[in-house]
Structure 1
């Protein structure tokens, strides 16, 4: 495993994430600040609801916070493309004009050449990914079987539950609370006025959605941005202390990147969705003075697509 981890670590050190080259980007820190602000408002609202029986954010305010997360997503996308462009300019300082796709095409070629040299494969990235997975899982299984079962159970006790188990735990906790509340009620309270009991139950369900479910849904995306950043900092510290450390998630992230590089060589027959997403990203992250130029390119791309479609139909006839 150390040999595979060493080669993957060397690959990751050679081709760092684009955000590494955009740490000084204003869009990055604005996106992080927006995520922190949204989480701060929600936690402060939760604190007021628990301690002082009042609230800071109403239902419409919480819904608007979901809308405010959209600029954060586009800001992170802009950081990605800015980092890719800055990396290309660092490696090619003589380049004057850099097109939108140039950094990505050049980066894919450099990755292919690096993988061919480091792993000494024949050029089939899919076969390389399959071989690495078999070798990694085989060695990982041997390493696990070589450990004591009691130690494995002790380590598993301190791990965080999976999303499915967490949902099951949360459902069981709510069910226990509901059972305790119902058990403390007298028979006369429950059956004396059944209609009022149903109204109160519905009010409790609505309050549950407004006080817990909706704020939790708003927190998911900003919280994920911050937690992923903290986790990556922790992994970077572990990799800095141990040159041979490579987590299981990092390994499969590398395998996914290999398969994405392999899929780029395949010819796509249906490109409408990808083209639509590509031009939407270009419009959302382009500076205001370049929007007319991007719009002209969109019209030119549509004209070329119609011309190619007519030529294919003519050739088929």
Structure 2
């Protein structure tokens, strides 16, 4: 039986550590959807992503012995920065394995926080396997990016803030890769306000959670590249999927064109540059893909660490369709 008090302990633990990010109403999305749409701006969080929440929640509870062994993680970028910053706070050595395709800005930021970065493999899953091999060889303490209940509880604090800031939300839309943010959101929402619907969003090119949720076998060999590299995870976690199956109301996917259009929409209309993972959740609302009728929709804008070199690709992909919104 899960002890829900752990969620509130995580919330208190992180109160003085992370930013309480703003929640902003989007007038354009309001008009377009005929609903009230509220954007939870985790792109303004420390390190530019919600990931720092889970990393701090986990690392702050490690023993001195665990920290002395050094911290090890695998990440497509945002978890890396969260672990690097949290590790620096406790004085631990941090090594991060990242895919060779990781945007240069995310690699540079991780190094700036003091971590050693090793670029290995073409995707997160290959970097993850390399990191696990390193752990076996060195005995370092591994900080999983999503499949850890303590990490999930840290991510849950995003939704807990949202429900304080906008108590009358009836739907929360969440981007998902490995499922840590989605699982945390669902756990918090169904504990605090069970009537609120939780909808997970994945890139159609990397739909591991959506496929599993809907009972379809995910073909790991046919994943395609996605501009939402932060949620390109081929194999979701067991802990996350257990929570998602029990508490998430539905899973949907969005195309590369829809994600690209959402990136440009956020830049043009909201004056914010957000990464593909965050834009996936916006895309679901922008393209009216939500499977439920909602009056007040909360959207988690999960991060802002975008590779600006990809802006040209966004413009090409959406064929200026964003200008119609």
Structure having the higher Rg: 1
The normalised TM-score by structure 2 is 0.24
The normalised TM-score by structure 1 is 0.24
Hey, which of these two has a bigger chunk of helix by percent? 1
Which has the bigger relative contact order, CA under 8 A and spacing at least 6?
1
Hey, which of these two has a bigger chunk of strand by percent? 2
